[in-house]
Amino acid sequence: METIYALVMGYDFSSGILYGPWTIVYGIGSVLIIVISGKLFKNLHMNRIVETIIVFLMIIIVLTLLEWIGGVLIEWLFGLTFWDYSDSKYHIGKYISLGMSLAWGILGIIFIYLIKPITDKFVRKIPKWITYFLCLLFLIDVVITCLVRFKII
């Protein structure tokens, strides 16, 4: 969402600490909401509307906490600030915006109920060697980023 918005508006935009195209906080957030919503679907067995409301609230809480933890850690470890909601109307500190939390909830519901079922069909068809190769590229990016950012090389 942010990347597309930045491209459309012509902003210079960087969404993560790594040099490659990965944004760790988005990846962790996606995995968390997939795992947690899967557990909820498996255990709740409620009316679809009630279940969706519970998943929506869970997504808001989990992704808001993740955004706060990610912002604090990135600033502490690397001295960088990638987002700052201090100028937003309903912000809580620098890294939490209630408006953004609602956006994450809505986007999370769209992701879980609409996008994930479609992409699951394609993901299963990706050969394992491509998955391993992408994981290797990600790990190389993490190592290079840490070496450069911590001034080891």
pLDDT in tens, 71-102: 999 899 888 888 889 998 899 989 999 999 99
* Residue 136: inside a domain: no
Q: List the domain range (segments joined by +) for residue 92.
A: 2-122
Q: What's the total number of domains in the chain?
A: 1
What is the percentage of the chain residues whose pLDDT exceeds 90?
A: 58
User: Is the residue at 139 inside a domain?
Assistant: no
Could you report the per-residue pLDDT of 131-141, keeping only the tens digit for each? 999 999 999 99
Question: Is the pLDDT at 107 greater than 80, yes or no?
Answer: yes
Question: Does the residue 130 lie in any domain?
Answer: no
Model pTM? 0.83
The amino acid occupying position 6 is A
Residue 147 lies in a domain: no
What are the C-alpha distances in Å from 72 to residues 38, 67, 68, 94, 106?
Answer: 28, 9, 6, 9, 24
Asked whether the predicted pLDDT for residue 111 surpasses 90, the reply is yes
Q: Is residue 146 part of a domain?
A: no
Q: Is the pLDDT of residue 2 over 70?
A: no
User: Is 152 inside a domain boundary?
Assistant: no
